[in-house]
Amino acid sequence: MRVLIIEDEARIAKRLDRMASNYFEQNSTISICDSVQKGMAHIDNNEIDLLLLDLNLNGENGFDLLESVVSRSFHTIIVSANTDKAIMAFEYGVLDFVPKPFDEIRLAQAFKRINYNVKPSDEALKFLAVKKAGNIKLIPIEDLLYIKGAGIYTELHLRNGKQELHDKSLESLELLLPDSFERIHKSYLVSLELAEKILIQPGSKYSLLLKSGEQLPIGRSKYKDLKNKII
């Protein structure tokens, strides 16, 4: 676990360092930056798996950094006293918002979301961000038709017929998307609100017919659970 802490208060940064080290034990490399500029430079030059980000950094706005990295493949956990910004943070796809002051138990709960595929329950993600030609393009969740895994990336298939490539894996997006999204196959995520019915095909194969008319494959291990969710 490669962790980057962006926190301008040295005492809090050291606490986060210690708690992250205790939780991830030997399987971690932890770096600390105390400003948005240093944090962006680190992200641009190093691979990370997890960002712990404060929102108020010596007068700098942590959202300036969050907007720049929202399409990256790593997870972000906000650690901030600015609880009034929690809803906005979840809309940007952060994994959790840990209010200050915090303790080791609360921080561990946030870390568990990574280890045990626990979805955030406070607020729903409103859009996904894709990086395109050096700019950030926001894709409203309601515009998604389905998501297809493409190795370490994902293809966002939109209702207007267009496609966008996202840097996050299918497993990472599954953690962030609303509960209506279901993993119906190792390579497909779809909102069941868009499902029409399950089709049974020769050879014990199954597919999901969407209201748009498209058909997506259903994994055999997913069929039993899925048929109970689609009326």
* pLDDT at position 19 over 90: yes
What are the pLDDT digits (tens) for 28-84? 899 999 999 999 999 989 989 899 999 989 888 888 888 777 767 788 999 999 888
CA pair distance 61, 93, nearest whole angstrom: 17
Q: What is the DSSP string of 122-177?
A: SS---EEEEEETTEEEEEEGGGEEEEEEETTEEEEEETTS-EEEESS-HHHHHHHS
What are the pLDDT digits (tens) for 96-109? 899 999 999 999 98
State whether residue 124 is helix, strand or coil. Answer: coil
Question: What is the predicted pLDDT for the residue at 104?
Answer: 92
- Compute the mean pLDDT over every residue in the chain, rounded to the nearest whole number: 86
32's tokens = 């600390």
Q: How buried is residue 42: exposed, middle or buried, by Cβ count under 10 Å (0-12/13-18/19+)?
A: middle
**CB distance 211 to 196 below 8 Å:** yes
Pick from 133-137, 196-200, 215-219: least confident: 133-137
Question: What is the predicted pLDDT for the residue at 122?
Answer: 44
**CB distance 60 to 12 below 8 Å:** no
pTM (2 d.p.):
0.63
| Nearest residue to 146 via CA among 173, 108, 112 | 173
Q: What percent of the chain has pLDDT over 70?
A: 92
Within 51-169, residue ranges assigned H as helices are 62-69, 86-91, 104-115
Give me the mean pLDDT over the 149-166 stretch.
Answer: 89
* pLDDT at position 120 over 60: no
Tell the residue number behind the tokens 């008319």, with chain if given: 213
Split at pLDDT 50, 70, 90, the class of 216 is: very high
CA pair distance 150, 167, nearest whole angstrom: 10
* pLDDT at position 168 over 70: yes
* pLDDT at position 116 over 60: no
Between 66 and 131, whose confidence is greater?
66
Backbone angles phi, psi at 14, to 5 degrees: -65, -35
99-138 b/e with 16+ CB inside 10 Å = b? eeebeeeebeebbebbeeeeebeeebbbbbbbbeeeeeee
* pLDDT at position 204 over 90: no
| Nearest residue to 7 via CA among 47, 46, 41, 39 | 39
- In DSSP terms, 157 is beta-bridged to 146, 163
* pLDDT at position 172 over 70: yes
